[in-house]
Structure 1
């Protein structure tokens, strides 16, 4: 590496650190709220166990999960629209208050069709706040480095919250499922209070952005116009395919680990290795990734994730599987560190909510279709699933390389 390249890399890293230290108050508020949410996010994890414990079949639990997944797709779309019309703060409050009320009713519902309906509504309402949170971050920062830092902090809070929530949920579930869902409702209301109190009185959008938002709303800009953006369509396809592949860490990989004679404890170790790497290294990885063009980072990240998972499906030894976990985890961290921040650079003024909502819907489609299609492919021929995952890595890399913003700013890296 030349001295010039080294100096530029050090300058980029220092600029990222400066951006991290200089993040505005709103970023930390949203990240704190997200941590609280993730600590108390029990229903998506424990709803299958709860339904089967109530005496319903595994197939019935699958219907409940399906309703939740479809709800999240719709909720992201609705959330994107509301974020751009009624505003970020009100979208968050509507989402968390209604979700809290619905979640608190779950333990007291008897008939299965009613459980399916309520969980589906929870899926819708709980997804509405996600585009709004992303929009708050985008509104609060001005440079690509700050966007990366802001979303990096949000992800770090989410990872910590998910880790703590998994441990806490397991303890509470052994005592009472009613307490579990009431605790989640309480966490949602805490986040709502954080948004209601701490986001009040903060600086509004710059006048130019506010005027653009009003103009867009006035001329009826909707998702049809959003989806006419070919770059966004490529971004959404990449998201669906990459999430389909990544969700195999929870579907195909545990099935494969069992089929090669390893134990649930071995699979737990592999997942613990993944979680530890993410918590310790994702924020530093974000700093490193800030030196490079985001479309290149996404291409390499998709290859690492998909090829690492595909190779896992043809491996049997614990040492090799652990090494491949490291490989696809680095791909996961590189992807997650940059994906929403890069989407913000592709977004026209006044349409942040709709673009982030479309991303959230694509994410939900990929993670929802992955278990169904992936499970069916694995049952038919495991090698077919892992081959598909590898091919999707190549497709996602190709799509990623075509995700350059219309006009790169001088602040963006050129590596």
Structure 2
């Protein structure tokens, strides 16, 4: 047996053992996130609700725009609150406020009021995200981060899949009931956090992270944080890669229709993607954990870029299935490591701000992708796939530079 194999078998725990050794807070927050995703309907069904309530498609687009802008701001605000008031208070503020605003949506009348309220929901609904990521960072060792974020994302994927089915059933009965159910689910998630995360590290639990808010001095704001060139590189990579990935819901369905396939065929392709992610992403983490994270991110972005760019050449179901396999592999590889790697690039006391900016960049990419992608496709379908290839390769190049100098990385760990 080689020295490398001996080190791997003796010094590095198996991924299964790492999962078993995760603190209970990881499972609590992941279960809560699963429940939350099952009951999150507003972003998916708001357009259908508005158009069926008599609003025009243009009005629905205005509401969506307000929601998207709010989501970007919400991540930034959430990052600040996570580092300043603490993880648990930030989560509770987010879910309780979102619950109340969501419950009011079916009772709103004038369009300006709908725009304002849905925009506010976009803001407050994102505040919990950096805080939830920070909870995981607080309670796990560096070697457990990949597993912790993997479990969180697995719960999110399962919850989102179940939520789509449940939302369709509830909306067929009552749209008012749809938003009231979401408000109730948010309160359930808040209760889980309030009762089971009372002693969250970073809020006086007696861990080394208990002093974290004091480390991030008040003078350290987003202007200083954005002076970090590695972070800016990470954020640009996120915007480009998410612009590319979101074409699975814009360019791909348009192409499926253009080559003569049906909505059912598109549904089967997306179902294949969802099945692969749920079954394979978590086990894949044990493989990618062996390699340098910047290389893993680059490989994931490359597969995603290649799979989607090749969509433009796929004129039948068989070829489209092949492209789905490629970009799904890229999605699983990059998503399994992206947030955990960002933690390794984060100075002490700034986990919330860094995760908040990541969430904002993610939202910008997924928000701009449908607007720009749809416009480019309408002008020239081929131009969209060229744009996907260019931005995808840029995200690969940016990924390769995401590494701290050795001394700085040691401090961050």
TM-score, normalised to structure 2's length?
A: 0.95
1:213–1:349 CA contact under 8 A, matched in 2: no
The answer for the alignment partner of 2:80 in structure 1 is 81
Q: Which residue does the alignment assign to 2:131?
A: 132
CA shift in 2, pair 1:207/1:31, >3 Å: closer
Instruction: For 1:234-245, list aligned pairs within 5 A.
Output: 234-245=233-244
Q: 1:8 to 1:334 in 2, by over 3 A?
A: farther
Contact map agreement 2:199 2:205 (CA 8 A) in 1: no
Structure 1 portions without partners, runs of 5+: none
* Cα 1:5–1:323 shift into 2, 3 Å: farther
Are 2:229 and 1:217 equivalent residues in the alignment?
no
Report if the CA contact (8 A) 2:246-2:369 is conserved.
yes
Paired residue total:
408
Query: 1:51 offset after TM fit, Å?
Result: 0.7
Of 191, 194, 197, the match for 1:196: 194
Contact 1:75 1:126 in 2 (8 A): yes
Structure 1 residues 4 and 309 mapped into 2: Cα distance closer, same or farther (>3 Å)? farther
Matching of residues 16-415 of structure 1 within 5 Å: 16-143=15-142, 145-203=143-201, 204=204, 208-218=208-218, 220-407=219-406, 408=409
Cα offset for 1:385?
0.8
Query: How far apart in 1 are the matches of 2:76 and 2:410?
Result: 29
Q: List per-residue Cα deviations over 1:88-121 (Å, max 9, x = no partner).
A: 0000000000000000000111111111111110
Deviations 1:51-77 (A, max 9, x none): 111111222111111111100000000
The 8 Å contact of residues 9 and 291 in structure 1, kept in 2 or not, is answered as: no
User: What RMSD in Å do the two structures reach over aligned CA positions?
Assistant: 1.8
Whole-angstrom CA distance in 2 between matches of 1:409 and 1:222? 23
State how far apart, in whole Å, the 1-side matches of 2:289 and 2:405 are: 19
User: SS in structure 1 opposite 2:227?
Assistant: coil
Q: Would you say the 8 A contact 1:270–1:322 is kept in 2?
A: yes
Deviations along 1:114-166, one digit per CA (max 9) or x if unpaired, are 111111100000000000000000011122x3000100000010011001101
- The Cα of 1:209 is off from its aligned counterpart by 3.8
Describe the shift of the 1:91–1:323 C-alpha distance in structure 2 as closer, same or farther (beyond 3 A): same
Take 2:39 and 2:396, find their aligned partners in 1: how far apart are those partners? 35
Cα drift, residue 217 of structure 1: 2.9
Cα distance change on mapping 1:268 and 1:88 into 2, 3 Å: same
Q: What is the CA-CA distance between 1:267 and the residue it aligns to?
A: 0.3
CA distance in 2, matches of 1:328, 1:11: 35
Following superposition, the deviation at residue 79 of structure 1 comes to 0.2
C-alpha displacement at 1:181, in angstroms?
A: 0.4
What is the rounded CA distance, in whole Å, between the counterparts of 1:304 and 1:349 in structure 2? Answer: 33
Secondary structure of the residue that 2:220 maps to in structure 1?
coil
Deviation at 1:7, TM superposition (A): 5.4
2:127 partner SS = helix
- Cα 1:104–1:12 shift into 2, 3 Å: farther
TM-score (norm 1): 0.95
